[in-house]
Amino acid sequence: MFDRHKGGERVILVAIDFGDPDHAESVAELRLLAAGAGLDILGEVLGKRSRPDAALFVGSGKADEIAALVAATEADVVIFNHELSPAQERNLERRLHCRVIDRVTLILDIFARRAQSAEGKLQVELAQLQHLSTRLVRGWTHLERQRGGVGMRGPGEKQLETDRRLIGVRVKALRDRLARLEKQRRTQRRSRARQQVLSVALVGYTNAGKSTLFNALTRAGAYAADQLFATLDTTTRKIYLPRLAEAAGGDPASGEVVISDTVGFITRLPHDLVAAFRATLEATAEADLLLHVIDSASPARERQMEAVEKVLKEIGADAVPQLRVYNKLDLTGIAPGVGHDEYGKLQSVYVSARTGAGLELLRDALSEILVARRADHDAGTTDDDTSRHTALSA
């Protein structure tokens, strides 16, 4: 059903600058996305426009330039670093005589390749179906033809209507299954809450080093690689913080903290994908603390931080206290350390998850913040803003 890539397909990348300040970083990300999907990049077509062309997105002259490059290289697919309308995709395919996909479809394809858990696969399939439902017109030559079929459609129903109906049935089934899994997860979270187990969630831009940091803290052995979206499935482990136990009177169980590694974010993350993963990502909204992992070596780190904050707001996790963890110090030469805001409250930690530098500082910071969070819980504090400012300046 899905227009999935096969490894080694030959592609042309197209990126048009509409005056976006992050255009260069976005093009670099497109290259990484294509490489991460196992595609062979034969060439790139760049250009500038004031606004997209309604029919071809790039305009007639640029479309001819792309078509010439496709013919010369015998490329299989052209990938646009933008979101195309169904009509634009269809018009471009006719003009270029090859398949055309956009950035959203490429990201969905990567997620489909990388998802490992049953729930992750369900979430990706849901996102793909929702995206596909708007693009059924592409590549179908039989849409106006009446077809029969036992058990497939009513009398006289067109193929397009059948496809949309079957997709609707599958989408409902996927949502029902995901809802049941979310109910199980809520039960588990309530159980941890009754046991007063504190929770920490790692969030951050894709490839910021979350999984490497997660492994360094938990020794979990979660998959980590220098590529975009290496982690899709949420992994949860327990860590032990002695200072947290000491603050609770020495009870070893009081020193246990649940820590979760989550999927990375990216600019222009497909809306369907955020919606499909909402149930998983909403667990971050119930965490006691978010570790916002930042690639300190990236020149685009400020933009990446903004992208993460945008998604956190979308999933309702923007009010959760944050500790910023500036990672990859081994690439910057900066010494490990901690940072405080103007009120002297703990705000950031500088570490290298790969070498282990600064991890003890991070553990101490976690202990300091979570001791305050537990004190809030024990006091029966219900005002999230009050408890947040007691712990740290988010």
- At 224 the pLDDT is 55
Q: What is the CATH number for 55? A: 3.40.50.11060
Return the percentage of the chain with pLDDT > 70, whole number.
Answer: 78
Across 229-244, b (16+ Cβ under 10 Å) vs e yields bbbbbbbbbebebeeb
In a domain, 2, yes or no: no
Q: Say which residue, 255 or 13, is predicted with more confidence.
A: 13
Number of separate domains in the chain: 3
User: What's the pLDDT at 109?
Assistant: 85
Q: Give 318's contacts (C-beta < 8 A, 6+ positions apart).
A: 309, 312
| 387 and 245 fall within a common domain | yes
Any residues with CB less than 8 A from the CB of 98 and at least 6 apart, and which? Answer: 70, 75, 76, 77, 78
> Containing domain of residue 365, as a range?
196-391
Domain end: 68, 88, 111, which one?
111
Residue 88: per-residue pLDDT: 93
* Confidence at 194, pLDDT banded by 50, 70, 90: low
Residue 48 has pLDDT above 90, yes or no: yes
> How buried is 113 (Cβ within 10 angstroms: 0-12 exposed, 13-18 middle, 19+ buried)?
middle
CATH number of domain containing 297: 3.40.50.300
128 lies in the same domain as 104: no
**145 and 33 in a common domain:** no
Predicted confidence (pLDDT) at residue 143 exceeds the cutoff of 50 = no
Residues 203 and 154 in one domain: no
SS3 341: coil
Report d(CA 376, CA 373) in Å as an integer: 5
Residues 299 and 167 in one domain: no
Residue 344 banded pLDDT, cuts 50, 70, 90: confident
Last residue of a domain, one of 68, 90, 111: 111
Confidence check: pLDDT of 244 > 80:
yes
Q: Are residues 213 and 317 in the same domain?
A: yes
Kindly state whether residues 336 and 216 are assigned to the same domain: yes
Do residues 63 and 201 share a domain?
Answer: no
Determine, yes or no, domain membership for 182.
no
341 and 208 inside one domain: yes
pTM strictly above 0.85: no
**133 and 245 share a domain?**
no
Task: Say which residue, 372 or 278, is predicted with more confidence.
Answer: 372
Q: Where are the alpha helices (DSSP H) in the chain?
A: 23-36, 60-73, 86-96, 103-114, 118-132, 159-194, 210-218, 242-247, 271-276, 278-281, 301-314, 359-378, 384-391
- How large is the average pLDDT for residues 256-263? 86
Read off the pLDDT of residues 91-123 as tens digits, 9 standing for 90 and up: 999 999 999 999 988 888 887 877 777 777 888
